[in-house]
Amino acid sequence: MASASRLGLVVLVAMASAASAQLSSTFYDTSCPNALATIKAGVTTAVQNEARMGASLVRLHFHDCFVDGCDGSVLLADTGSFIGEQGAAPNNNSIRGMNVIDNIKTQVEAVCKQTVSCADILAVAARDSVVALGGPTWTVLLGRRDSTTASKTNAENDLPPPTFDLQNLTTLFGNKQLSMTDMVALSGAHTIGQSQCRFFRNRIYNETNINTTFATSLRANCPQSGGDSSLAPLDTQTPNGFDNAYYTNLMSQKGLLHSDQVLFNGGGADNTVRSFASSAATFNSAFTTAMVNMGNIAPKTGTQGQIRLVCSKVNS
């Protein structure tokens, strides 16, 4: 009987843990009803000031979630005694938009003191950025809490480099419980934003599955040596518009990064690319589903972590 009681207790504890890990679209409805409107206003202003910022904010959410879950850890700045994710190879001199998130956090704090997490602000800002650039909307699930630490090593191991092939990408995304369809859809975020020459130089000079005219046009601004930080749009057709042009680019061998073009190169992702290229609605549906799935990666909830007062540092 005693062992049955203990078993019942274990089941109850397990159920409570599962419940605490559930995110909710209504999480702030009572505690901070103006949170989402405040975030949206901040994102809209930032994207109006610089269209590229929309892509940067989507990328911040992605880089946050893929390293130890969606917990705001990517926002923690290095200090004398702490080395976080921002100096990791995939992030160093590459991720941006932290100042926009800091500004939004300040505005949210003015509305609701220590209520809305930085991790949730990242998730909402990613959605609002896509909408601001003409893309689809979706319901963001909320209730994440912020990490009190970050790992440079995990960032270097868990974020996909632009040199990855299809198998490596599929494995990495699969490790996060994301399907190949999710992976191809999330890659479609490259319909906005820009990349630095250092990330696509090898492709435009040494790879053969690339449109010759496209490669030549890129070489003018990305020499074989130097110019590492020179920028090129990931989607040359509509660089500031969120649409499905990324996939038609891939079908014309105009993927900017190696990790873009491997999605359409005779492999298992080809049919998904074709599907998204032929139907914006199909892509939008898959993208919004994938963003929700990504936002569900290992969130801290309940009493885990904290609600940071400033996104760049742990509460003192």
Binding residues for heme b: 190
Nearest to 75 by CA among 58, 66, 90, 63: 63
Catalytic residue among 52, 59, 61, 63: 63
CB of 200 closer than 8 Å to CB of 218: yes
Cβ neighbors of 271 (< 8 A, separation 6 or more) are: none
Binding residues for Ca(2+): 64, 67, 69, 71, 73, 85, 191, 235, 238, 243
**Three-state secondary-structure class, residue 128:** helix
Q: Answer for the pair 98, 288: CB distance below 8 angstroms, yes or no.
A: no
Where does residue 284 rank: exposed (0-12), middle (13-18), buried (19+ CB within 10 A)? buried
Residue tagged 């890990």 (tokens): 21
Which single residue is written with the structure tokens 């979706």? 138
User: In the structure encoding, which two tokens stand for residue 144, read together?
Assistant: 């994440």
Question: Which two three-digit tokens encode residue 303?
Answer: 């009493």
As given in the structure block, the two tokens for residue 150 are 């970050």
Q: Catalytic annotation on 258?
A: no
By CB atoms closer than 10 A (0-12, 13-18, 19+), residue 94 is: middle
Is-contact 159 197, C-beta < 8 A? Answer: no
Point out the annotated binding site: 64, 67, 69, 71, 73, 85, 160, 190-191, 235, 238, 243
Annotated binding site for substrate: 160
Q: Which residues are catalytic?
A: 63
